[in-house]
Chain A
Amino acid sequence: MNLFDYIRPTSVSDAIAAWQPGAAYLGGGTNLVDLMKTGALRPGTVIDITRLPGVDRIETLPNGSTRIGTLVRNSDLAHDPDFAMAFPMVAEALASGASGQLRNAATLGGNLLQRTRCAYFQDPHSACNRRFPGAGCDARNGDSDNHAILGWSDACTATNPSDLCVPLMALDAVVETQGPQGKRDIALADFHHLPGAAPHQETALEPGELILAIRLPANATASRHNSRYLKVRERTSFAFALVSAAAALQLENGRISAACLALGGVAAKPWRVPAAEKLMLGQIPGADLFRRAAEVALEGAVPSGDNGFKIDLARRTAARALALAAAGTPAQMPALPASVFGESAHV
């Protein structure tokens, strides 16, 4: 890899002050270091933020919201009993991602900022508008089985690979940041950008802006008894989702009083579908309702390549996730999280 400066600041302000164009913040390194090895990313400065104080905690704020520091490791968050009880589908999504070793290293903030797994992005020898604005997109007419079916553009058909972001999106998470201009909140819904004509502008972060924490609102725990994350993948573990869905319901007197549905693996951002949620309000949960909601959720979906099957698969996945959520959150984390295969085999 290229020669780079390595800085390990001990305060957030020092970290931000150290940032300059071409610099990269380093958390768990599970994505950045890989991309540096292949040469897809070549930062001139690596700012190791793992020693920053006060951003590695899970805390409940006075207003009842939950705040998770950017350096909280995926494993620690997934296995925090209080957190997993309050936000079971977030824990399930975390536990379904990557491998045990990677979850032990990966950080929350890094998860939000992980780059697409589009092979043409990861490969420095392919044309990619994300890496080099205006270079073109080799994924078009390329190996495109796992590319976007929603929100893509001619400039980019990549998907966001995060599991975690899907339930966070469904639960109205807020991203707390600090940058050269000070602190601010960004709704997760506004955090990742669809590609449009400028796919290189992947997130709402300004240059040098650093994620400090994620906040989940107090009312996000209301669906904890009926929420699931479901991930469809080519092997049972250690694979990115072909499609995934986070579904959370609140049931009152046998009817749906609140519904949240977000899809993963379908677009450059986790795909929240308010129209599908609205359709379910006041309805009695059932397979037919969930099928209709899933139809609505995939409205506007178009293959971006040889991936038309993902539209049908996403519909089926959304309907199943809703059915699983309606059936109730499991009392324990499934042995194979986010999988259709039951616990029996791996307890």
Chain B
Amino acid sequence: MSETLRFGSSSGQPTTRRDGIAKVTGAATFAADNHPDGLLYAVYVPATIARGTVTHLDVTAAKAHPGVVEVLTPDNCPPLPGGPDTKPFRFSFSFEALQDNTVRYANQPIALVLGETFEAATEGAKLLNPQYNALQPRLGLDGTTPFPTNGDGFGKPGTTVHGDPDAGHAAALQAVDVTYETPAQYHNAMETHAIVADWDGDHVTLDLPNQAIVMSCAAYAHHLGIPAENVTIRSPYLGGGFGSKVIINGPQMLAIMAARMTGRPVKLMLRRDQMFGPTGHRGATRQRLRIGIGADHRMTVLDHDSRATTSSFETFVESAANASQGLYASGALRSTHQGVRIDSGTPGPMRAPGEATGSAALECAMDEMAFEAGIDPLEFRLKNYAEREPGTDKPYSSKALRQCYAQGAERFGWAGRPLAPRQMKDADGLLVGWGMGTALFAAPMFAAQARAVLRPDGTGLVETAASDMGQGAWTALAQIAADSLGLPLDRIEFRSGSSDLPDAGVAGGSAHTASAGGALHAAGTDAIRHLADIATKDPASPLFGTGNAGVIARAGRLHASDDDSRSESFADIIARAGGAEVEGKGNVSRSPEAAEAHAMYSHGAVFAEVKVDPDLFQMRVTRLVGAFAAGRIINPRLAESQLMGGMIWGTSFALHEEAKFDARSGRIMNADFAGYHIPVNADVQGLEVITVHEDDPYVNALGIKGVGEIGITGTVGAIGNAIWHATGTRVRRFPIRIQDLLAGS
């Protein structure tokens, strides 16, 4: 059968969020909105030291408080059958579940208090009044002796060398050697981590915001010592995930253990300040970039070394230097990584992990090199444009970066930008600067499954355990599913967000639409294939005998592909066949051969204008233009929102976000939104996204790349470069602060 579906009537449309009204009216049920009968409220007690042991907890005082039901401490906490240091899956990291009294970072859980009310549990937690044997915490990028990571797993980037970097340095006629620092940053999704755990015998139901629903069931089951099928996760809505909700964390596990121990359902929702510790973060980095160029302004070497903080007990190191792989053509290319063990929680994947930090430093260093060379930063990038992946020499599956540069520059008005800094002012006397950066993000695809059913009434049911973190999976995935079944969007029922559905893989790596969408597409196609099989073999059908030419599914009917007038509705076909549902299954993953043959990335170019007060050095990003090529765009409205969100995140990285550790206690002293700044609406002015058309026949059947993370990359550097261009002060740390510009003035 040559063609069994017509793809594209829903896909490509800027459909508004199908869950939008439910969300803005409060009807959408987030995890903490569940209140099963007999619910207990849990509050975890965070360590207020970063290193040492707990020597005393006043359990008697806590239990005496009215409404406190139980207190879990290492003295009475049940053991975990699958210990907290075991690794059931690739994204497993050690967590704390009150298995001993050591403290390895501030905000680590050291007890869990259960109460009849949240207030009672909160007060009980306070009354525990922990006593410690505290040791001096090791903090910062010089906290301990760095160790090299060797590339043997997730969060363990290694060394990658292409060509001869030493020869590249030697051959350089001009060079820059610059070091940039980025601070620890915390995910801080609007919805803090929450869980409602409810046991029924040895089966547990978890209402839990989660980015990898089916995989997490197996992990929880492993730790709890029960079969995977005894864990149900319901995660219909997430108020943001950003990588933090892929990882199993201690407080959530404690809530599950507490529910098992007390025989009552337990709810735990982290306070905002508790998000700064056990739930992952982006480690601080110090990156040294050495770039050399020859007489033709072509790079002879790109040498990127990154040191990043990780915890004392677990290894997740930002793969920042890998941002220099895959982007610019260079005679030689080297990325090296080191970790520094400090007394903080374990970092983890945070939106554009590695890429965000690495791109920030790389794009600024490229700007510094261009200025040294005396050429325009965009021209410099074009001179070093990689037609094939640097190092591997693989062709790109698609790469419309040239068009991104051109369309972004045109829309921004980049032409005529003075090379020298501090040349432009606005009518109010504010310094104006323009900067740019290249955006790059890998385009992976994960294994995913889906099921599609054509019902006797001609409607469709599609199922996959996808996660809508706010990115719009409820909408974009349904659009793909509707097209795959040849049905309008309102005639399919889309079930998602629950672990009793087929595994949709991880909502991460900017790959969810490609993965889960690919599975839905395959399932729908399979269902239509079965339906076509029935119709074309049924002498009573107008489609009888069209098997060789094939049929097309459109608007609830199958049509002969060589004669549109021959058609029959799904319902009629099914009715005559006895009225049984027609089921299709999808099971997709990227073939190793495809992955081997091509380098696969989304690309983009970001242009920034900043204005800076010449005396007070307040900064504002007045314009951001991002042009991105990310394969097929399923829903332009949602994709542009995702890209905008990434660019705003980049603004946040460039100018605002920084966790401030107290050097004595190891605690983060700005662990709330009053102190840990992210942009407010007034910080975001002109913000424009261009999606550049790109057909990619290799990434997956639908040609989908990803848009979830790439918006951060490029943007941070573009803003940093624009601030330099406005002021002449090159700040090599993020966020860029007023005092940094004052010091440079």
When distances are taken between beta carbons in the complex, the residues of chain A under 8 Å from B737 are 234
Q: Does A317 interact with chain B (Cβ within 8 Å)?
A: yes
Q: Does B428 interact with chain A (Cβ within 8 Å)?
A: yes
Contact A117 B618 (CB under 8 A): no
Contact B682 A346 (CB under 8 A): yes
Instruction: Point out the residue from A235, A339, A341 that lies within 8 Å of B680, measured CB to CB.
Output: A235
- Mask, B405-446, CB within 8 Å of A = 1, is 000000000000000000000001010000000000000000
B119 CB to nearest A CB, Å: 6
Contact B685 A237 (CB under 8 A): no
Q: Which of B658-709 contact A (CB under 8 A)?
A: 660-665, 667, 669-670, 674-675, 677, 679-683, 685
Chain A, residue nearest B621 (CB): A236
When distances are taken between beta carbons in the complex, the residues of chain B under 8 Å from A313 are 616-617, 738-739, 742
When distances are taken between beta carbons in the complex, the residues of chain B under 8 Å from A138 are 662, 664-665
When distances are taken between beta carbons in the complex, the residues of chain B under 8 Å from A141 are 663-664
Q: Does B336 interact with chain A (Cβ within 8 Å)?
A: no
Q: Which of A104-144 contact B (CB under 8 A)?
A: 117, 119-120, 123, 125-126, 138, 141-143
Instruction: Point out the residue from A39, A237, A320 that lies within 8 Å of B616, measured CB to CB.
Output: A320
Contact B739 A309 (CB under 8 A): yes
When distances are taken between beta carbons in the complex, the residues of chain B under 8 Å from A233 are 618
When distances are taken between beta carbons in the complex, the residues of chain B under 8 Å from A336 are 682
Q: Does A299 interact with chain B (Cβ within 8 Å)?
A: no
Contact B682 A309 (CB under 8 A): no
Interface size on B, residues (CB 8 A): 42
When distances are taken between beta carbons in the complex, the residues of chain A under 8 Å from B618 are 232-233, 339-341
Q: Does A342 interact with chain B (Cβ within 8 Å)?
A: yes
Instruction: Point out the residue from A3, A38, A312 that lies within 8 Å of B123, measured CB to CB.
Output: A3
B588 CB to nearest A CB, Å: 43
Q: Does B103 interact with chain A (Cβ within 8 Å)?
A: no
A341-B618, A345-B685 known; A143+B670 contact, CB < 8 A: yes
Q: Does B620 interact with chain A (Cβ within 8 Å)?
A: yes
Q: Does B543 interact with chain A (Cβ within 8 Å)?
A: no
**Complexed CA–CA distance, A1 and B622 (Å):** 43
Q: Which of A130-163 contact B (CB under 8 A)?
A: 138, 141-143, 145
B124 CB to nearest A CB, Å: 11
Q: Does B402 interact with chain A (Cβ within 8 Å)?
A: no
Q: Does B613 interact with chain A (Cβ within 8 Å)?
A: yes
**Complexed CA–CA distance, A238 and B676 (Å):** 12
Contact B675 A345 (CB under 8 A): no
Chain B, residue nearest A237 (CB): B682
Contact B680 A236 (CB under 8 A): yes
Say whether chain A's binding surface is mostly helix, strand, loop, or mixed: loop
When distances are taken between beta carbons in the complex, the residues of chain A under 8 Å from B731 are none
Contact A340 B682 (CB under 8 A): no
**Complexed CA–CA distance, A341 and B622 (Å):** 10
**Complexed CA–CA distance, A236 and B663 (Å):** 29
A36 CB to nearest B CB, Å: 11
When distances are taken between beta carbons in the complex, the residues of chain A under 8 Å from B742 are 309, 312-313
- Mask, B608-629, CB within 8 Å of A = 1, is 0001010111101010000000
Instruction: Point out the residue from B123, B616, B655, B665 that lies within 8 Å of A317, measured CB to CB.
Output: B616
Instruction: Point out the residue from B611, B738, B743 that lies within 8 Å of A234, measured CB to CB.
Output: B738
Chain A, residue nearest B127 (CB): A2
Contact B677 A239 (CB under 8 A): yes
When distances are taken between beta carbons in the complex, the residues of chain A under 8 Å from B484 are none
**Complexed CA–CA distance, A239 and B618 (Å):** 13
Instruction: Point out the residue from B620, B665, B681, B738 that lies within 8 Å of A232, measured CB to CB.
Output: B738
Q: Which of A1-35 contact B (CB under 8 A)?
A: 1-3
Instruction: Point out the residue from B126, B661, B662, B677 that lies within 8 Å of A39, measured CB to CB.
Output: B126
When distances are taken between beta carbons in the complex, the residues of chain A under 8 Å from B682 are 235-237, 336, 346
When distances are taken between beta carbons in the complex, the residues of chain A under 8 Å from B669 are 119-120, 123, 142-143
Q: Does B211 interact with chain A (Cβ within 8 Å)?
A: no
A235-B655, A236-B682, A340-B613 known; A242+B738 contact, CB < 8 A: yes
Q: Does B330 interact with chain A (Cβ within 8 Å)?
A: no
Chain A, residue nearest B119 (CB): A1
Q: Does A193 interact with chain B (Cβ within 8 Å)?
A: no
> Which of A126, A235, A309, A320 is packed against the most chain B CB atoms within 10 Å?
A235
Contact A143 B656 (CB under 8 A): no
Q: Does B513 interact with chain A (Cβ within 8 Å)?
A: no
Q: Does B471 interact with chain A (Cβ within 8 Å)?
A: no
A3-B123, A309-B739 known; A342+B428 contact, CB < 8 A: yes
Q: Which of A69-100 contact B (CB under 8 A)?
A: 99
Q: Which of A324-347 contact B (CB under 8 A)?
A: 336, 339-342, 345-346
When distances are taken between beta carbons in the complex, the residues of chain B under 8 Å from A125 are 48, 667
Q: Does B122 interact with chain A (Cβ within 8 Å)?
A: yes
> Which of B611, B674, B743 is packed against the most chain A CB atoms within 10 Å?
B674
When distances are taken between beta carbons in the complex, the residues of chain A under 8 Å from B126 are 2, 39
**Complexed CA–CA distance, A109 and B615 (Å):** 34
- Mask, B100-136, CB within 8 Å of A = 1, is 0000000000000000000100110010000000000
Q: Does A200 interact with chain B (Cβ within 8 Å)?
A: no
When distances are taken between beta carbons in the complex, the residues of chain B under 8 Å from A2 are 123, 126
Q: Does A316 interact with chain B (Cβ within 8 Å)?
A: yes
**Complexed CA–CA distance, A312 and B674 (Å):** 24
Contact A119 B616 (CB under 8 A): no
**Complexed CA–CA distance, A32 and B80 (Å):** 41
Contact A143 B616 (CB under 8 A): no
When distances are taken between beta carbons in the complex, the residues of chain A under 8 Å from B66 are 3
Instruction: Point out the residue from A99, A119, A309 that lies within 8 Å of B675, measured CB to CB.
Output: A119
**Complexed CA–CA distance, A240 and B674 (Å):** 8
Contact A143 B683 (CB under 8 A): no
B77 CB to nearest A CB, Å: 23
A130 CB to nearest B CB, Å: 16
Contact A237 B670 (CB under 8 A): no
B685 CB to nearest A CB, Å: 5
Contact A341 B616 (CB under 8 A): no
A1-B119, A239-B677 known; A119+B683 contact, CB < 8 A: no
Q: Which of A278-331 contact B (CB under 8 A)?
A: 309, 312-313, 316-317, 319-320
B628 CB to nearest A CB, Å: 25
Contact B677 A235 (CB under 8 A): yes
- Mask, B553-572, CB within 8 Å of A = 1, is 00000000000000000000
B11 CB to nearest A CB, Å: 36
**Complexed CA–CA distance, A239 and B673 (Å):** 10
Chain A, residue nearest B130 (CB): A125
**Complexed CA–CA distance, A238 and B679 (Å):** 9
When distances are taken between beta carbons in the complex, the residues of chain A under 8 Å from B611 are 341
When distances are taken between beta carbons in the complex, the residues of chain B under 8 Å from A317 are 616
- Mask, B710-745, CB within 8 Å of A = 1, is 000000000000000000000000000111001100
A119-B675, A143-B662, A143-B670 known; A237+B48 contact, CB < 8 A: no
A129 CB to nearest B CB, Å: 17
**Complexed CA–CA distance, A242 and B737 (Å):** 11
Contact B655 A143 (CB under 8 A): no
Q: Which of A234-293 contact B (CB under 8 A)?
A: 234-240, 242
When distances are taken between beta carbons in the complex, the residues of chain B under 8 Å from A123 are 667, 669
Instruction: Point out the residue from B622, B655, B664, B685 that lies within 8 Å of A142, measured CB to CB.
Output: B664
When distances are taken between beta carbons in the complex, the residues of chain A under 8 Å from B660 are 143, 145
**Complexed CA–CA distance, A339 and B683 (Å):** 12
- Mask, B57-74, CB within 8 Å of A = 1, is 000000000100000000
Going nearest first, the 6 A-B pairs with the smallest beta carbon separation are A309-B739, A236-B682, A119-B669, A125-B48, A237-B682, A143-B669
Given contacts A38-B273, A235-B677, A341-B618, 14 further A-B contacts (CB under 8 A): A1-B119, A3-B66, A39-B126, A123-B667, A138-B662, A138-B664, A142-B664, A143-B670, A232-B738, A238-B680, A309-B739, A309-B742, A319-B615, A342-B428
| 6 examples of A-B residue contacts, CB within 8 angstroms | A38-B273, A39-B126, A142-B664, A235-B656, A236-B680, A320-B616
B residues in contact (CB < 8 Å) with A: 48, 66, 119, 122-123, 126, 273, 428, 430, 611, 613, 615-618, 620, 622, 655-656, 660-665, 667, 669-670, 674-675, 677, 679-683, 685, 737-739, 742-743
